[in-house]
Amino acid sequence: AQTVTQSQPEMSVQEAETVTLSCTYDTSESDYYLFWYKQPPSRQMILVIRQEAYKQQNATENRFSVNFQKAAKSFSLKISDSQLGDAAMYFCAYRSRYYGGSQGNLIFGKGTKLSVKP
Amino acid sequence: DGGITQSPKYLFRKEGQNVTLSCEQNLNHDAMYWYRQDPGQGLRLIYYSQIVNDFQKGDIAEGYSVSREKKESFPLTVTSAQKNPTAFYLCASIADRGSGNTIYFGEGSWLTVV
C-alpha cells in the first residue's frame, strides 16, 4: 500500500523569505499524481500545485515550486517570497493513476503547519 | 459550475442521536471520500466509495455509516456509537480511471456534540 510522510509537523518562516516543506512517499507504481494542498483557518482545501509522475519537469505556480525526485520518492514544496497569507496547514497527497486499490488510491500526509512571521 | 456541496455547514448533535452529513457532487465522479479532521490534525479517512452501491471502510470507520445509492450522493451518518464525534468533516471526490488529476473538496461540515 502507498504511504505519504510529512516529517515536519510545524515550520516557521520570516516574511519574504523562502521555505521548503518536505514530503516523501512510498509506492511500487510508476505512474501517479502528487499534490500539495493548502488549508487556511477557514478549512477550505486549496490546490497549490500538482505534479504528474511521468513528467520530469518540476511543476511551478507563481511563488510555489516543487522538487520532484522520482527515484528518491520525494516531493518537496518550495515557497518563495513568503507572505502572511501563506500561513496555513499544507498537505501532501498521492493519487494513483490506476483505478481501484486500497483507499481508492488517494493518500494524504499528516500535514505541516506553516507559520509566517512579519 | 461543477463542484461538491456539503451540508449543513454547522451541526449540533445531542448525546445518543444519529446525524447525517450530506455530500453531493455534480462532477460525474465515481470516487468519493469522507475524512475527519480534529483540531490541528491531519485528514483521517472514514469511508470511501469507488462506484455506486459499493463502499469501503477507511482507517476510522467505527461509529460511522455511509450509503452510495446514487453516483452524485455520498451521505455520512454519525451514529450514537461514535463516542467522540466533535470534529470537522470533509467530503472529496476524484475522477476515475486515471482520467482526472484533481481532487475536489467540499467546504466541510462542523459537528459538535452538545
Taking the alpha carbons of A10, A109, B86, B63 in that order, is the dihedral positive or negative?
Answer: negative
Beta carbons within 10 angstroms of residue A64's beta carbon = 16
Q: What is the pLDDT of residues B23-74, one digit of tens each?
A: 999 998 888 999 999 987 888 999 999 889 999 999 899 999 999 999 999 9
| Other Cβ atoms closer than 10 A to B46 | 26
Q: What does the alpha-carbon distance between residue B89 and residue B85 come to, in Å, rounded to a whole number? A: 10
Residue A8 contacts B where some CB pair is shorter than 8 Å: no
Task: Write the CB contacts of B41 (distance below 8 Å, at least 6 apart in sequence).
Answer: A110, A111
What's the pLDDT score for residue B96?
Answer: 60
Nearest CA in chain A to B110: A43
B48 and A103 in contact by Cβ < 8 A?
yes
Asked if residue B110 has pLDDT above 90, the reply is yes
Chosen for mutation from A94, A108, A112, A113 (greatest number of chain B CBs closer than 10 Å) is: A108
pLDDT mean over A94-108: 72
Sequence-distant (6+) residues with CB within 8 A of A70 are A53, A56
Enter the C-alpha cell of residue A64: 510555489
Per-residue cell: A54: 511521468
Q: What is the pLDDT of residues A70-99, one digit of tens each?
A: 999 999 999 999 999 999 999 999 988 766
Query: pLDDT category, A100, cuts 50, 70, 90?
Result: low
**Comparing B25 with A107, which gets the higher pLDDT?**
B25
Q: Is B85 exposed, middle or buried (0-12, 13-18, 19+ CB in 10 A)?
A: buried
* % of chain A surpassing 70 pLDDT: 93
Residue carrying C-alpha cell 497549490: A48
Given a contact cutoff of 8 angstroms between Cβ atoms, the answer to whether B56 and B32 are in contact is no
